[in-house]
Structure 1
Amino acid sequence: MDERILKWLFDIKICVDEIESFFKGKEKDFLKYKENIMLKRAVERNLEIIGEAVNRIITRDCSFVERINNSRAIVGLRNQVIHAYDNISDENIWSVLTHHLPKLKLEVEKLIKESQV
């Protein structure tokens, strides 16, 4: 695997781990998330980095569009957070955190592991 792609996969993993650390030892509570502006901005920043890393990966090797589920949607979310910041839905971000991020983490860990074989 290309070293740059591997680096970007690790960037994604680090961001996912950081987001998970924000909730470590705490119940994931949407209302608390919605009220905590610092937490929201930290999550959004990590999602920006994840989206940029995915964009770089699929630009460098288009086969990753199929290897990372919803890769185009991940990039789309990054673009929305950056360019349409006034139109971000807390509910949408929460759905990403609770449903899509755990799947992305598994995919990225699998890709990293495959690269080390």
Structure 2
Amino acid sequence: MDERILKWLFDISAAIDEIESYFENSEKNFFTYKQNTMLKRAVERDLEIIGEAVNRIITRDESLAAKITNSKAIIGLRNQVIHAYDNISDENIWSILINHLPKLKTEVKALIAKYHQ
């Protein structure tokens, strides 16, 4: 595997770990999240990093798009956060954190394990 792709996979993994660290000492609570602007911006920044890394990965090797569930949607979210910041839905971001990030974490860790030998 291209070393750059492996680096970007590690970037995704680090961003997911960082998001998880924001909730280490507290229960994941949507209403607390919604009221904490600094937390929301930190999560959005990590989602930007994830989206940019996924974009670079599938641009470099299109076959990996099939191994990262919703890769196009991840890139679309990145674009929305960056270019349509005034149209970000807290509910949508929260749903991604709860429902989609755990699966992405599993997929990325599997890809790293497969290609980092």
TM-score normalised to structure 1 length = 0.99
Matched with 2:109 is: 109
Matched with 1:28 is: 28
Q: How many residues align?
A: 117
Moved over 6 A (4+): none
Q: Distance in 2 between matches of 1:103 and 1:64?
A: 15
Matched with 1:50 is: 50
In structure 2, stretches of 5+ residues that fail to align are none
Query: Counterpart of 2:100 in 1: which secondary structure?
Result: helix
Matched with 1:60 is: 60
Q: Which amino acid in structure 2 is aligned with residue 50 of structure 1?
A: I
Q: Identity over aligned residues, as a percent?
A: 72
Deviation (angstroms), 1:26: 1.1
Q: CA RMSD in A?
A: 0.6
Deviation (angstroms), 1:25: 2.5
Q: Which amino acid in structure 2 is aligned with residue 22 of structure 1?
A: Y
TM-score normalised to structure 2 length = 0.99
Matched with 2:100 is: 100
Matched with 1:83 is: 83
Matched with 2:73 is: 73
Q: Distance in 2 between matches of 1:2 and 1:105?
A: 20
